[in-house]
Structure 1
Amino acid sequence: MLRTMTGRLFLGAITILLSSANGQAMEKVSLGLEGSFTQYFGYVDNNDFGTGDFTGFDIKADSEVAFTGDTTLENGLQFGVEVILKAESAGADQIDGTYMWNEGGYGRIEIGQTDNAAATMHYSAPDVGLGINDSDIADWVTNPGGGDADSGFQSTYLFLGEDKATKLTWFSPRMAGLQLGMSYIPEFERDDNSQPDGDAAYRDGVSVGLNYVHEFSEGTELAIAGGFLTADNPNTVTRDASAEGYSLGFNLTLSGFTIGGSYASTEGNPSGGTDTAISLDGSGFDIGIAYAFDATSVSVSYYQGEVEGTVAIADDSNNESVMASVAHEMGPGITAIASLFHTRFEAETGTKNEGTALVGGIVLEF
């Protein structure tokens, strides 16, 4: 039923895009430049495990540049494009996302390499610093296991290895506070224009997101979100090993305070479902509170997650993190941040590492 609805969405989106051809653009798309650069510096005390000494001071960076542009047709329809360049790729893709979008009375359509509807519409615990959910904590506190953000181990955002696979997404107009989003993902593969191989990766993926946002009065707002992601297993996997996950999240803002939390459950296997020796079956949740006053914000948040990991080993990998953060807006587009956090990682093999880190940074947005 869900895939039938998504198929109709796909056909409807194509029809809308083709019918838009009757409109004349006021001017062609001109690209602009925007993005952010974050320079981190900090000290971490790792308990260390096995070989290696991971305690000490380090300097890290996180930056991206987005090339964006849009135009409006005479009939009022808007078209745009976004190409995101990631500076610190660590040997992975330098292009972090690339997609075109179209907006009209029917909502917004996105086609290309971008986040799925469930992840885009999700809410989680607030944090004004480094971030505790789907963040870079493991860059500081060394994780001895294999758990990552593809499962609930470190993230309640639903990816399951499809992160920015080529997809078609539709977001409805927001009505009475409600908005629906749906994504169709032909294959859990990116940067590849070849025909999807049903033997090589998860296929026919569907993601659904639904959220509700209501402002009761100035400074008082409630946001609630739910998400679902599923995909068929590769033909080469004989057992039923479909990818599946669901998420819930909320934010409540009242008189400068924001309270939030989220939960996710995940099932699947890495490498597009072909690596059945490793399991992404797990769950995670976070809870946090933030307070904003003038140009300064503070927050405290907590995350706990687990994942099965190596199927042949009975125990799970575990992650437990607590973080306190502060941010101060120094000027337009310039923010100083700092986070003090403690993380405990335990691999399914029993190998453990705990670490405490103090990380500061400057965020430049342009």
Structure 2
Amino acid sequence: MKKVLLGTTALVAAGLLAQPALASDPIKLQVKGYYQNLVTFSDVDEPAGSTANYKDAQFRHEGEVHFKGETKLDNGLTVGFDAQLEIVNVGLSGGQPRDMDETYMYFSGGFGKLQLGAENGAAYLLHVGVPSVGLGFDDRNFGVAASNGGHGRPNISGDTAKGTYFTPNMGGFQAGVSYSPNIDHQGLSGNGFGVMTVGTGSVEDVIGLGLKYSGKFGGASLAISGGYETGEVVGGGSNVDPEIWSLGLNVGFGGFTVGASYADSENYDSGSLNPGADGDVLALGLAYKTGPWGVSAGYQKTDYEIAGVATSRTADEYELAASYQLGAGVQLRGGLIHADMDLNTLPDTTTLFVGTFLTF
């Protein structure tokens, strides 16, 4: 698969080089992004013997500023870039520096689109998740208390440096393939060629495949996706290599959207390598929008079994949410989330949230 991707990249590059260099407008810069601000009130059922001190009320926020640039050459080729600056990140604390997140460039045209740089892979980007006007379950910025369930969107490689190719959209169908030599964020810039080693037990050569169809039929709409991602563990043998496959479905009609997604993983547990883990994540959702208003209900079931471990980690998560669009780029959201963690080391949590979501 790696040879196929590298061959595809070489063919696209050869096609780009074959194009005549003509005059065109310079790249035009745009500034976009988002900022999310929440007030949450939580009831945490702390496990027996726990010394954790969970705060009932919290002020939480997350945001990024995106610097985007693009130009279209006279030969029809589009060249652009995207650099995303973390201004607030729920994963950062104390004096940790704010830094760039996804940063990549791309070429697009009749051949499709080629992305090069730090961005999530094809299986992640083409995934169809369940509808939600609240916080949702996939790729959420805010989880409940200290833990939450799994993720239905394949993301072994994360947003590490990679090459990704997307086919043109043909009759609603689009496919993509991505390749990440390693999943280390460090050592890819500076002097020299950034040649680096991958330590024993780390993941390398991550391949991602994605396929998506979206279309409309009269007053109804359909979106469906399938994804697969796998990598190799250095010195670990094929029996510990992580892999995830996923399916997603949304059907829309008359303001309603109903959706479902399912993911199955091996040797991978909710965002990290875990040899022996066998996981399933099932999510269901229903949303309704009319004018500036929206409401949704969602459910997600997570079940992880670990080889050699007597107890499994399971979670049942529920979300009820509502939203109101105050104006362009300004939305109010509120809702209730309950997480039932079926393992005595993880707390059951019920959280009420109210927040303002800005996009610009």
Q: Normalising by structure 2, what TM-score?
A: 0.89
Partner of 2:297: 300
- Greater than 6 Å deviation, 4+ residue runs: none
Provide the C-alpha distance between the structure 1 equivalents of 2:225 and 2:2, rounded to a whole number of angstroms: 21
Where structure 2 has 5 or more consecutive residues not aligned to the other structure, the ranges are: 189-193
Deviation at residue 6 of structure 1 after TM alignment:
2.1
In structure 2, the residue matched to 1:120 is: 125
Shift of 1:220: 1.4
Aligned pair in 2 of structure 1 residues 286, 191: CA closer, same or farther (>3 Å)?
A: same
- C-alpha separation in 2, matches of 1:265 and 1:124: 15
CA, structure 1 residues 56+333, in 2 after alignment: closer, same or farther (shift >3 Å)?
A: same
Asked if the contact 1:342/1:355 (under 8 Å) is kept, the reply is: yes
Match status 1:215 vs 2:216: yes
2:288 alignment counterpart: 291
Please give the alpha-carbon distance, in whole angstroms, between the structure 2 residues aligned to 1:357 and 1:324. 11
Give the 3 Å change call, closer, same or farther, for CA 288–25 of structure 1 in structure 2: farther
Match of 1:357 in 2: 351
Say if 1:168 and 1:183, in contact at 8 Å, map to a contact too. yes
Question: Which residue of 2 is the match for residue 175 of structure 1?
Answer: 170
Q: Is the 8 A contact 1:117 1:207 kept in 2?
A: yes
Output the CA distance in 2 between the equivalents of 1:113 and 1:80.
Answer: 14
Q: Deviations over 1:142-187 (max 9, x none)?
A: 32xxxx7xxxx42111012x21011111111111221111111111
Alignment match of 2:321 (pick from 309, 314, 325): 325
What percent of counterpart residues are identical?
27
Give the structure 2 partner of residue 101 of structure 1: 106
Distance 1:247 1:238, change over 3 A: closer
Instruction: State the 1:351 CA deviation.
Output: 2.2
Deviation at 1:54, TM superposition (A): 1.2
The answer to whether the aligner puts 1:56 opposite 2:56 as a matched pair is: yes
Structure 1: distance between partners of 2:23 and 2:277: 46
Q: 1:1-366 alignment to 2 at 5 Å?
A: 2-20=1-19, 22-49=20-47, 50-89=50-89, 90=92, 91=96, 94-138=99-143, 140-143=144-147, 153-160=149-156, 162-193=157-188, 194-200=194-200, 201-217=202-218, 219-234=219-234, 236-238=235-237, 240-268=239-267, 280-308=277-305, 313-347=309-343, 350-366=344-360
Q: How many Å apart are 1:11 and its aligned residue?
A: 1.9
Report if aligned partners of 2:246, 2:263 keep a CA contact under 8 Å in 1: yes
Offset from partner CA, 1:252-284 (integer Å, 9 cap, x none) = 0001100001000112358x98x76x6553120
For residues 132 and 230 of structure 1, the distance between their equivalents in structure 2, rounded to whole angstroms, comes to 22
Structure 1 position 221, deviation (Å): 0.6
In 2, the alpha carbon distance for the partners of 1:167 and 1:38 equals 28
Task: Provide the rounded CA distance (Å) in 2 between the counterparts of 1:35 and 1:352.
Answer: 34
CA distance in 2, matches of 1:129, 1:187: 34
Quote the offset at 1:196 in angstroms: 4.5
SS of match in other structure, 1:126: coil
Judge which range, 28-37 or 193-202, deviates more: 193-202
Structure 1 unmatched runs, 5+:
none
TM-score normalised by L of structure 1: 0.88
- 1:279 touches 1:307 (CA, 8 Å); kept in 2? no
Q: Quick check: 1:25–1:71 contact (8 Å CA) kept in 2?
A: no
Shift of 1:93: 6.7
Q: Aligned partner of 2:6: which letter? A: G
CA distance in 2 between counterparts of 1:134 and 1:365 reads 17
Q: Deviations over 1:103-157 (max 9, x none)?
A: 100111111111100110011110111122332453x3232xxxx7xxxx42111
Q: Could you tell me how far 1:191 is from its partner in structure 2?
A: 3.8
- 204-213 vs 188-197, greater mean Cα deviation: 188-197
3-state SS in 2 of match to 1:240: helix
Matches of 1:23 and 1:268, distance apart in 2: 48
Give the whole-Å Cα distance in 2 for the aligned partners of 1:101 and 1:32. Answer: 16
CA distance in 1, matches of 2:63, 2:331: 14
How far apart in 2 are the matches of 1:295 and 1:43?
26
AA aligned opposite 2:233? N
d(CA) in 2 for partners of 1:17, 1:45 = 57
> What CA RMSD, in Å, does the superposition of the two structures yield over aligned residues?
2.2
